[in-house]
Amino acid sequence: MTKLKICSWNINSVRLRAPQIANFVAEHSPDVMGLQEIKCLEEQFPYDEFKAMGYQFFEVSGQKGMHGAATVSKYPLTRMDTNFCPEGHARHVSTIVELGTKKNFELHNFYIPAGGDEADADINPKFAHKLEFLAAMTTYFQDRASENARQVLLGDFNIAPHENDVWGHKQLLKVVSHTPIEVETLAKLQASSDFTDCARALLGDEAKQELFSWWSYRSRDINKSDRGRRLDHIWVSPALKEAALAGGKDGHVVHKYCRFWERPSDHAPVTQIIDI
């Protein structure tokens, strides 16, 4: 068995927060990290800093000043040819993590569009873009469901689907990230290949604050109000379900304390143990 620790983190500028990532790596030593909103081009990615942290393998999809996703790993990576974004933004990286022929698995790292302020695709192009992106994901994984592939989906999904994924379910039903249409659309994606949402599978539907992974910069004291949302997800396909659940509740952790660092990302890193 190979026990892997996988991390998802919307870092909100990888160059600015590389020292914070180094601190986190020193404490938790993830084997593979999916980073989102890196906000730089491929050639601007801080490769040397990550090599100093112990990562030797990289797949980066960059965009000038915005978006961007990167997967860094202690194990070799092979890039997959995928295309999910109808606008052509750098919002995903799909790779095969090379552990050995029988242990290899796919890692799909996503930064799903936020969707703007109005949950109406007819009047809000950003929301339409979000739904189209999710539709492309659903089609792709549905078409491949019969393969029974070993897959991990992670990233900033920008949707908090469960009523306990937000600080106030009724208050946020009309707020983008928790609207019924987004929740229904994400459920279709999850059902497309019977993905397991690791957080809910391990900690149950009653878990709330301990699963929040995002807090607005507008909140001066997130500990006092804790008005967070669970926007960052790690899912596994049926072929990896047993491996992801083997570690029990301690296998899935939202590292909220990182949100209190000086000039932090508005997202906390999320880790998942998978016994391959």
**Residue 215 is part of which domain span?**
3-275
The vertex-142 CA angle with 141 and 144, nearest 5°, equals: 65
CATH number at residue 256: 3.60.10.10
Q: What is the DSSP letter of 143?
A: H
Residue 222 has pLDDT above 80, yes or no: no
Question: What three-state secondary structure class fits 258?
Answer: helix
Residue 224, pLDDT score: 67
Range name among 68-77, 97-106, 147-156, 217-226 with the lowest pLDDT average: 217-226
pLDDT digits (tens, 9 = 90+) for 89-111: 999 999 999 998 789 999 999 99
CA distance 10 to 267: 6
Q: pLDDT over 70 for what percent of the chain? A: 99
Instruction: List, for residues 30-70, the tens digit of each pLDDT value.
Output: 999 999 999 999 999 999 999 999 999 999 999 999 999 99
* Alpha-carbon span 166 to 256, nearest angstrom: 15
Residue 154 pairs with which residues in a beta bridge?
Answer: 109, 234
User: Tokens 């990233």 — which residue?
Assistant: 155
Q: Number of structural domains, the chain?
A: 1
First to last CA, the chain: 6
pLDDT at position 92: 98
Task: Show the tokens assigned to 186.
Answer: 């994400």
Instruction: Write down the pLDDT at residue 218.
Output: 78
Q: Determine phi and psi for 156, rounding to 5 degrees.
A: -85, 100
Each residue's pLDDT tens digit, 225-271: 789 999 999 999 999 999 999 989 999 999 999 999 999 999 999 99
**Using the 8-state DSSP alphabet, how is residue 163 labeled?**
G
Q: Are strands 232-236 and 252-254 parallel, antiparallel or unpaired?
A: unpaired
pLDDT score, position 223: 67
Amino acid present at 123: I
Strand ranges for the chain from DSSP E = 3-10, 32-36, 57-61, 69-73, 77-79, 92-97, 105-111, 151-156, 196-197, 232-236, 252-254, 270-275
Helix ranges (DSSP H) in the chain: 18-28, 47-53, 125-143, 180-192, 198-203, 222-225, 238-245
Predicted confidence at residue 94, as pLDDT, reads 98
pLDDT at 184 (0 to 100): 98
